[in-house]
Structures are given as structure tokens and as C-alpha cells.
Amino acid sequence: MTALTLTNVNKSFGTVEVLKDINIEVEDGEFVVFVGPSGCGKSTLLRVIAGLEDVTSGEVRIGGELMNLTPPSKRGIAMVFQSYALYPHLNVRKNMSLALKQEGQSKQVIEQRVAKASKMLNLEPYIDRFPSELSGGQRQRVAIGRAIVREPKLFLFDEPLSNLDAALRMNTRLEIANLHQQLDASMIYVTHDQTEAMTLADKIVVLRDGHVEQVGSPMELYNNPANQFVAGFLGAPS
């Protein structure tokens, strides 16, 4: 099965073409990394997949189903942003529960899923704390927890580690890799960091100026970059 298929996706803001004829497939369980320089359209692409932006033309299919007109909450996806976007007035438990409550899940299901996610993310000691009482790394784990409890088939991460210091970045990166092992889900992960791309990805999609420049495994791109641009991001030093 295919988790995601983008077919000839275009997105313009006014007269500015931000995404140009994007064709991408993500298989079930695959970890796909989108890399590219700032402003190349990575966040817009994730927002189009999530349904936070409409496409100008083209098709977005999730689990084989056409989703162009489906609202974000009905797409079976969950998104984790670079700015954690936690609710400051809610403790960790309630930050993680909120979306489930809005979905109308029972109290029992909510408790069960929050307990499971807290355990996975080592958040049990912090469950009653407020965001202001947490470190940056802990906040980011809560943001990931909020995605996990929804049990999506597809996770979208938009540069989730870019606000963390180097040591925490490595820890959290390993945690995300671990989660991918444990969860029955596909992940799309946006970064401009070469190490993150090379270590996390089954498949890397290199984006440049709104289009797909090259797709391949980390080793394929490293050993056979299509051009200087890809080499500059991921290739072997020449």
C-alpha cells in the first residue's frame, strides 16, 4: 500500500508559484525526508499534504484516497511543528488529550493513549506540569506526544529539532527513529540538516525552488548526486 501519493501538485500564492509539478510517493511504513534550502517550499508542501493549504492543481492521495477536499482533521495525519505550539494554560496531560476530546473519544481511550505516549516519550514525571515548567526538549516531546495519541497513519514533521541545542537534537533524533520502529506509521520529515536526513531517511526527496530535484536512498544520493546542487547538500565531498 501507498501511504501518500502526490500527483502533479502545483501551489501558487497569487502569481507566485511556490510548488511546481510535484510527484512523490511514500510507501506504508516508510521514513521519507524532504531536504532543501530555506524558502524552497518544504513547509508549504507539508501544509498541502496536511490540508492546511489547498493545492492550485494536482492530486493529494492518502492511503489511496483522494483527499483534495478533505479537511485536515479527517486525513489520518498528525503534524509536529518546529515551534511546539503547546497550549500554555494546559498541563502536559491536557495538551495531549485535547485533540482526542475534540474527536469525541471516550475518557477511557484518552487515558489509555496518553499513558502509552507518555511512557514512550519518558514524559510520565512531567504529566502534570505546564509548558512553562518544561525544557525545550521536553516541550518538543509533548508536541510529538500530541501527534502520537491520535494514532495517525502518517506523521508530518516540520524541522522539529531546529530550536534545540546540538546534544538534545541528537537525542531527540534517536527518539524519533525509535518511535518510527515502534509505531505502525509512515513519517515525512522536513529538515535542512544533512545529518538528520542521512541518518533518519529510508528515502530522501531533494527540493529546490519548488520542484523535486532528485529522489533516492541516502546512499544513492551520496554516491550519485544528480548535480552540484544535490552534491552540495548530501553528496560525497569532491
Shortest Å distance, C-beta 22 to Mg ion: 15
Q: How far is CA 3 from CA 50, 84, 153, in A?
A: 13, 25, 8
Identify which of residues 44 and 199 has a Cβ nearer to ligand ADP in the complex.
Answer: 44
Residues 6+ apart with CB under 8 A from 11: 17, 18, 19, 41, 44, 45, 48, 53, 55, 56
Shortest Å distance, C-beta 42 to Mg ion: 5
C-alpha to C-alpha distance for 173 and 192, rounded to whole angstroms:
14
The DSSP 8-state label assigned to residue 237 in this structure reads: P
Identify which of residues 15 and 106 has a Cβ nearer to ligand ADP in the complex.
Answer: 15
Among 18, 33, 120, 147, contact with ligand ADP (rule: CB under 6 A): 18
| Alpha-carbon torsion (232, 48, 143, 217), positive or negative | negative
- Considering only residues 42 through 101, tell me which ones interact with Mg ion, judged by CB under 5 A: 42-43
Q: Is 191 in the site for Mg ion (CB under 5 A)?
A: no
**H or E, element range at 42:** helix 42-50
Other CB atoms within 10 Å distance of the CB of residue 227:
12
Residue 87 touches which of Mg ion, ligand ADP, none (Cβ within 5-8 Å per kind): none
Total residues contacting ligand ADP (rule CB under 6 A)? 11
Contact letters for Mg ion, residues 18-37 (x by CB under 5 A): --------------------
- Considering only residues 26 through 55, tell me which ones interact with ligand ADP, judged by CB under 6 A: 36, 38-44
Identify which of residues 96 and 201 has a Cβ nearer to ligand ADP in the complex.
Answer: 201
Shortest Å distance, C-beta 45 to Mg ion: 9
Strand order through the sheet with 154-158: 77-80, 154-158, 186-191, 31-35, 203-208, 211-216
* Beta carbons of 159 and 190 less than 8 angstroms apart: yes
Contact letters for ligand ADP, residues 174-213 (x by CB under 6 A): ----------------------------------------
Q: Which stretch binds Mg ion (CB under 5 A): 29-37, 40-48, 83-91, 165-173?
A: 40-48
* Beta carbons of 34 and 48 less than 8 angstroms apart: no
- Binding region for ligand ADP (CB under 6 A): 13, 16, 18, 36, 38-44
